[in-house]
């Protein structure tokens, strides 16, 4: 399609919005684009905002490719239509709705709740912003058939999103995701959406559910006596303007920690995220204010959560008492090691326990599980796949914990999504456990490397925005798939896993076998020296992701810094070798 054809197409779609049953503010925004901003008009209308396998996520504004009450409305009506078919035998379908602090989150949540109610559903709507994992908990607690949380997680402030959950409390997966997508696509006009709620069957929920949820979180504690001895650990916590502002400090205090310091400027729940460029605890800049506070008070631990409180960032004291940020693999490693150590110590391992990690998460977690004869599952990227493993093994096996490199972790089975409230309290408990042994979390991490091997990972992103960027990302994936490298950083590629074709091939023996996971646009290269490179387009952001993992032996604690530098140099060499 030529540029002129694209422009003609978007002008035609924009005209429909000018003439249709849209509010005056929306029409004014569309008219301004038609008259004054052709590039923005194209970005806003060149396609429909895709209801993907998890829901919606996009920049807020007027247009078919933007997050607004109309795209949210059509998604909710499509979901409602599917729920009516799937649960035709239920007298009253029940759904739960939650939202975070982003601009328009409450508006989108109320719009969603009203449409659900207008479709004859019983709706449980939170009275204020709440962590995403509490929405998962509420679905299970109220025995709902589905649920929605309005959030764009850690995306920049221009974004918002809409995540859909099923009756088990996990995000939707096959076949429901595809079926819901078909229902949403079948809605051709906003006139099909039941915006007007005459039934008003909406129950406002809040503190009572908080208390039940926090009680379940408290039951996960494995070392209450250790916390009692180390209750004075200094913990700095920041919600980065998000929904963890209330429940994370409450949970830490419930566990027994007394010295919790906040970052007042970031306790303000503001969708503009005024103190950071991006509210992402994966980024150093988002942690700067917490780091400054920690240095002022000589804190022992820094915890941060993203806007919807499903991801946790961590900083610990390293060598020479300097704070260093952990990545998601390191945090997951500490949590899995702590949980399995305590389960073993307490005699709780009965041979039916397991952990779960994603295919791009450190294989160190699997090695740790192996020591304790605990089964380890690998799943595709996305916590919904971890939730699916929990659902399939319910009542037969026991889920201890699991996570993904993107700063998400879960323990226990009463929530079915990554949970930063749970992650924060268990990481703090692990810090108390280490302190009880005269160690820091950094000491504990080095001990793990000494026992299991030094695994180091890094995520390298290439951002390409808009229509042209999306095409460039697909072109990069095609090149790696059609013409894969035979050597990377002078090490032979010995295996290639292509999750799009479900085929893995041993390059040395030419042996080909199938991958027993759902198809996904992911490539993995396994090198002779033990390195692993995974490549995939992000499902929620305009970027292509390169996950690079290297490893080596660590024979002595005194060699830690030199070994870490060696592995860091190796990662940088791999990036250069891939020309990315």
The pair of structure tokens assigned to 63 is 């247009």
Neighbours of 503 (CB within 10 A): 13
Label residue 535 exposed, middle or buried (CB < 10 Å: 0-12, 13-18, 19+): buried
CA 139 to mean position of chain CA atoms = 19
Specify whether the CB–CB gap between 223 and 145 falls below 8 A. no
Name the helix (H) or strand (E) containing 426.
helix 420-436
Nearest residue to 100 via CA among 243, 268, 281 = 243
Nearest residue to 306 via CA among 261, 276, 336, 335 = 276
The DSSP line for 25-51 is HHHHHHHHHHHH-HHHHHHHHSSPPP-
Nearest residue to 311 via CA among 334, 327, 289, 295 = 327
Cα–Cα distance, 135 to 158 (Å, whole number): 23
The residue from 136, 153, 520, 563 that is catalytic is 153
Nearest residue to 412 via CA among 327, 339, 362, 521 = 339
Neighbours of 448 (CB within 10 A): 21
Specify whether the CB–CB gap between 254 and 227 falls below 8 A. no
Cα–Cα distance, 552 to 474 (Å, whole number): 33
Alpha-helix runs per DSSP H in 91-242: 105-118, 132-141, 176-185, 207-218, 224-229
Cα–Cα distance, 534 to 301 (Å, whole number): 31
In which residue are the tokens 């380890």 written? 376
Nearest residue to 257 via CA among 440, 133, 430, 413 = 430
Residues in the chain: 580
Asked about 520 being catalytic, the answer comes back as: no
Active site residues: 153
């Amino acid at each position: 399609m030529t540029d002129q054809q694209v422009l003609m197409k978007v002008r035609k779609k924009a005209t429909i919005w000018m003439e249709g049953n849209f509010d005056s503010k929306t029409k004014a925004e569309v008219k301004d684009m038609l008259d004054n901003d052709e590039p923005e008009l194209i970005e806003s209308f060149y396609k429909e905002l895709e209801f993907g396998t998890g829901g919606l996520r996009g920049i807020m504004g007027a247009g078919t490719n933007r997050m607004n009450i109309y795209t949210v409305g059509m998604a909710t009506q499509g979901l409602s239509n599917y729920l009516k078919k799937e649960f035709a035998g239920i007298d009253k379908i029940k759904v739960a709705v939650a939202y975070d602090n982003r601009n328009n989150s409450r508006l989108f949540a109320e719009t969603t709740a009203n449409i659900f109610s207008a479709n004859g559903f019983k709706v449980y709507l939170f009275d204020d912003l709440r962590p995403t994992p509490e929405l998962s908990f509420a679905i299970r607690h109220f025995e709902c058939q589905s649920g929605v949380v309005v959030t764009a997680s850690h995306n920049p402030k221009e974004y918002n999103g809409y995540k859909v959950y099923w009756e088990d409390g996990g995000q939707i997966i096959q076949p429901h995701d595809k079926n819901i997508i078909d229902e949403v696509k079948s809605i051709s006009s906003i006139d099909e959406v039941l915006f007007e709620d005459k039934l008003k069957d909406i129950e406002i929920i809040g503190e009572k559910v908080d208390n039940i949820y926090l009680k379940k979180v408290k039951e996960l504690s494995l070392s209450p006596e250790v916390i009692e001895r180390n209750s004075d650990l200094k913990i700095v916590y920041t919600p980065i303007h998000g929904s963890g502002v209330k429940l994370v400090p409450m949970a830490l205090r419930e566990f027994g920690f007394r010295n919790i310091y906040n970052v007042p400027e970031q306790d303000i729940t503001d969708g503009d995220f005024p103190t950071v460029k991006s509210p992402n605890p994966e980024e150093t800049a988002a942690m700067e204010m917490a780091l400054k506070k920690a240095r002022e008070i000589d804190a022992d631990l820094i915890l941060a959560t993203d806007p919807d409180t499903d991801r946790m960032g961590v900083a610990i004291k390293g060598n020479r008492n300097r704070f260093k940020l952990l990545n998601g693999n390191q945090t997951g490693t500490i949590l899995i090691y702590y949980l399995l150590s305590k389960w073993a110590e307490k005699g709780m391992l009965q041979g039916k326990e397991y952990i779960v990690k994603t295919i791009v998460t450190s294989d160190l977690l699997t090695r740790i599980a192996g020591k304790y004869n605990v089964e380890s599952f690998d799943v595709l990227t996305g916590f919904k796949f971890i939730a699916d493993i929990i659902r399939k093994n319910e009542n037969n096996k026991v889920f201890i914990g699991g996570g993904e490199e993107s700063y998400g972790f879960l323990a226990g089975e009463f929530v079915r999504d990554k949970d930063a409230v749970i992650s924060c309290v268990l990481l703090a408990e692990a810090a108390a456990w280490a302190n009880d042994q005269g160690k820091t979390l950094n000491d504990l991490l080095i001990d793990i490397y000494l026992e299991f091997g030094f695994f180091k990972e890094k995520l390298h992103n290439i951002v390409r925005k808009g229509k042209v960027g999306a095409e460039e990302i697909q072109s990069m994936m095609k090149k790696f798939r059609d013409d894969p490298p035979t050597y990377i950083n002078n090490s032979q590629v010995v295996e290639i896993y292509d999750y799009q074709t479900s085929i893995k091939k041993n390059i040395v023996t030419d042996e080909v076998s199938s991958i027993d996971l759902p198809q996904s646009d992911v490539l993995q290269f396994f090198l002779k020296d033990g390195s692993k490179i995974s490549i995939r387009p992000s499902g929620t952001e305009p970027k292509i992701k390169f996950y690079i993992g290297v490893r080596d032996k660590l024979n002595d604690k005194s060699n830690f810094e030199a070994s870490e530098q060696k592995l860091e140099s190796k990662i940088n060499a791999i990036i250069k070798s891939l020309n990315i």
